Structure 1
Amino acid sequence: MKVINKSDLKSLKRSVDQGTEEQRKAVQEIIAQVKRRGDEAVKEYTVRFDQAVLKSLRVSQEEFEQAYESLEGEMVQILQEAADNIYSFHEKQRSSSWFDSAEDGTILGQKVTPIEAAGVYVPGGTAAYPSSVFMNVIPAQVAGVGRVVMVTPPGPDGEVPAGVLVAAQMIGVDDVYKVGGAQAIAALAYGTETIPSVDKITGPGNVFVALAKREVFGDVDIDMIAGPSEIAILADDHAHASEIAADLLSQAEHDARSSSVLVTTSERLGKAVEKEVQKQLNTLPRADIARQSVENYGMIVLCDSWEEALDTVNKMAPEHLEIVSKEPFQDLGKIKHAGAIFLGPYSSEPIGDYFAGPNHVLPTNGTARFSSPLNVDDFVKKSSVISYSSQALQNNADKIARFARLEGLEAHARAVETRKERWK
């Protein structure tokens, strides 16, 4: 891991992976083919990219049942408890329509309406992600979305990991299709003979998935363009090096481009963590991935003061932020930008990934400056409601007309004035 001081903070910035021109053109062609040829194109790309020959794109009830049978009963119980925690947290985010009336008869308000259909992309590849099923589907369900469609890439054997299927059926999602990559995003956006189109697409994926989401945005909504995972740990001498190192590696093992950063005022802790990271790497099953991440994007930032350390993490605006200090709750109010904040020595980042309840779909690459975790509000629309009374119209028509003429919009002014005269 690199050891830097705050003056070198610019080295923490990573460029957003926009994909190459060749990749963008490939994605555009995939989308065009799926729009034109539907299931046929989806199956062809699934053979090409996933080496899977599929008779049916949709996961069958038999496959769901086999998944339950193959997964250990205790693991099923753990998944259920995690789902319950996630439901409980997101239920508290539910928003309601509201209306307000004035003495002159004006009624103003906001109507909250869930979107009709959401598509969830659950990544595959080097790992299986039942947690992605819960984190993307549950807030949609709490919001009241009528139909949730899930896509996930199959293995070469045409199968989907058992944990993913159990998680989906456990929360009532049986509309699951074995398709991944840009072709899955295209199918969700525009529909095929088998896969229904949706109004919004959420869920992370590789660069081709990200590029496809960019391409279809506008025809459908998307959650965000997720970058590689990242963690920043703000720690003082009260932290234990072995625990900090383990938490840094928990993100490094995600992806070779993941970022793991310790920000501390303690040179002693920094050196100890550096040694621990190398020690723990030797026993990690995904050591090759984690080592690349640590070597290229792992850093220890030494600060002269705690205020400087706080300022450093705020400038980073990390996806995950752990605060392991003497009084972490006292520091919480000083954090301006972070996707998720983990306080104290017992709150390791994976607790949020899987079990605690808050959503793990978080803004990356500094976008926590203006973005929030995936939440229930992402799956609803808010319509303004306006009802003027005759009295309110008479009281305000002249002011509204003058405002319209200030902007040079005479028809706007007349639209109000004609009502004023009629409804005197």
Structure 2
Amino acid sequence: MEILKYPNPEEWAEILKRPALQTENLFGTVQSIIDQVRSEGDKAVLEYESQFDKVTLSSLTVSPEEIEEAENNVSIELKSAIYLAKRNIETFHASQRFEGKKVETMEGVTCWQKAVPIEKVGLYIPGGTAPLFSTVLMLAVPAKIAGCKEIVLCTPPNKEGKIHPAILFAAQLAGVSKIFKIGGVQAIASMAYGTESVPKVYKIFGPGNQYVTAAKQLVSLRDVAIDMPAGPSEVEVLADETANPVFVAADLLSQAEHGADSQAVLVTTSEKLLKEVMYEVERQLGYLPRRELAEKSLKNSKLILVRDMDEAIKLTNKYAPEHLIIETHDYSAVANEVVNAGSVFLGHLTPESAGDYASGTNHTLPTNGYAKAYSGVSLDSFIKKITFQEILPQGLSLIGPAIEVMAANEELDAHKNAVTVRLNTLK
């Protein structure tokens, strides 16, 4: 991990750079896969599954028998944990339901909004280095609460043509409509355009590697919506002298084990803590089964010593971390100053792992500094809001002349006339 002591604000932009995802370099390759899936459907998908996932499939669809088998292969302990997580995710996201109110902007002019679920959504769950059944819950549970009619899930199978049983169990529990054994670019293309087996959806959610990210970017240009721009996962721990170095090191390593391109950052006002965290990272690293992966990630990671908490907060808002853990004495006061972050974890006993799994908040969050402008996935991500308005005679009399003047001054005479012909009937 790189150590940086008292960097000047002019240096912040450089030292806070993330591991670059050059998805633009992949666009040619990715577009050719998308085009083939779009034109050849299941045939192309099966060929790409053989090529990329090294599996020969007779069917892309997960059968009811496979779901039943998966349920029998998930331990009671894990089922219980998944049930708990689902309940908390449901509770938090159900509280976000939109309540539209009719507003009379002036007498006889009433406006309101109505929340309508997106009818068909697609969820992508990576295979990669870990079975992300938690992401199934994070996406499918709010989709179900929102009222999406069709929830389609794609995830890559292993070389035996199987999907991890916990992914299938979580999908069934959360109300996924259809599950398909498809990974990578071909999964995104299948959901974006539809095949003989896979329904076309209106919005695609979920993380993925740089090829999946590139595919989502390309299909979103004109054909389907996506949840948000995505990049490698990241965490920042903001800590002072009261922080426990064992906790801080564990938090940094929990992020580092995500993947080689993940980033973990410590920003602290205490040089003593920084040194203790360095020692603890090395000590705890030796016990991790995914040590090699974490070591690669730590090469992208930084330990930054700043002069005071004010500077620490400014640096944090500049970085705009996906996950921010505040381990300080006055963490509530510090949190009040945070304006750019995906999800914030307060106090010494609140690890990022809580939000990743079971506290109830969503772990699908903006990365790569997009927290300056984007929110994480929420119930709103699965709905659209339609505006309505109703104008009565008195309202038209009051608002009509202003519309005529504005339309005339924009030289849009037909707009003006649409009001004038109505006003004439009221005379």
Normalising by structure 1, report the TM-score.
0.97
Q: Which of 15, 27, 34 is the equivalent residue of 1:24?
A: 27
Once residues 371 and 104 of structure 1 are traced to their aligned partners in structure 2, the CA distance between those partners, rounded to angstroms, is 37
SS state at 1:198 partner: coil
Q: Tell me whether 1:258 sits opposite 2:258 in the alignment.
A: no
2:59 is the counterpart of 1:65: no
1:290 to 294, 297, 318: 294
Q: Kindly report structure 1 stretches of 4+ aligned residues shifted beyond 2 Å.
A: 100-105
Q: Matched residue of 2:423: which SS?
A: helix
In 2: Cα distance, 1:423 partner to 1:383 partner = 29
What is the match of residue 349 of structure 2?
346
Letter in 2 for 1:249: L
Contact 1:233 1:321 in 2 (8 A): yes
Q: How much does 1:15 deviate?
A: 6.0
SS at match of 2:102: strand
1:45 alignment partner, one of 43, 48, 53:
48
Letter in 1 for 2:261: R
2:209 corresponds to: 206
* 8 Å CA contact retained: 1:252, 1:290: yes
Match of 2:277? 273
Q: Does 1:390 align with 2:388?
A: no
Task: Tell me if 1:6 matches 2:21.
Answer: no
- Would you say how many aligned residue pairs link Structure 1 and Structure 2? 422
1:86 matched to 2:85: no
Worse overlay, 388-397 or 376-385: 388-397
Q: How far did 1:225 drift? A: 2.1
Supply the AA of the counterpart residue of 1:3.
I
2:192 to 176, 184, 189: 189
Report the counterpart of residue 117 of structure 1 in structure 2: 120
CA distance in 2, matches of 1:154, 1:423: 67
Cα distance in 2, alignment partners of residues 306 and 322 from structure 1? 14
Partner of 1:98, secondary structure, is: coil
Deviations 1:368-395 (A, max 9, x none): 1111110001111111111111111122
Relative to structure 1, the CA distance from residue 53 to residue 346 in structure 2 (aligned partners, 3 Å threshold; closer, same or farther) is same
Q: How much does 1:412 deviate? A: 1.0
Amino acid at match of 1:11: I
* 1:331 aligned to which of 329, 334, 339: 334
Indicate whether 1:108 and 2:111 are aligned.
yes
For residue 410 of structure 1, the aligned residue among 398, 410, 413 is: 413
Whether 1:234 aligns to 2:232 is no
* Cα deviation 1:300-353 (Å, max 9, x = unaligned): 110111111111111111000001111211211111111110001110110110
Could you tell me how far apart the structure 2 residues matched to 1:262 and 1:76 are?
A: 35
Residues in 2 aligned to 1:290 and 1:314: alpha-carbon distance in whole angstroms: 26
**Residue type of the alignment partner of 1:110:** Q
CA contact (8 A) 2:108 2:396 kept: no
Gaps of 5+ in 2: none
Q: How many Å separate the matches in 1 of 2:335 and 2:105?
A: 40
C-alpha distance in structure 2 between counterparts of 1:75 and 1:193, whole Å:
35
CA distance in structure 2 between the aligned counterparts of 1:198 and 1:133, rounded to whole angstroms: 17
Shift of 1:97: 3.0
Match of 1:384, SS state, is strand
C-alpha distance in 2 between matches for 1:103 and 1:243: 57
Tell me how far 1:421 sits from its aligned partner: 0.8
8 Å contact from structure 1 (residues 6, 312) kept in 2: no
Contact 1:122 1:204 survives alignment (8 Å): yes
Superposed displacement of residue 244, structure 1: 0.5
Match of 1:365 among 365, 368, 380: 368
Q: How big is each residue's C-alpha offset from its partner over 1:229-272, in whole Å with a ceiling of 9 and x where there is no partner?
A: 10000111111111111110101111111110110010000011
In 2: Cα distance, 1:109 partner to 1:206 partner: 41
The percentage of counterpart residues that share the same residue type is: 43
Structure 1 unaligned regions, length at least 5:
none
The offset of 1:282, in angstroms, is 1.7
> In structure 2, what residue type is equivalent to 1:238?
T
Task: Show CA shifts across 1:180-226 (max 9, x none).
Answer: 11110111011111111111100001111111111111311100121
Query: Considering only aligned residues, what root-mean-square deviation do their CA atoms show, in Å?
Result: 1.2
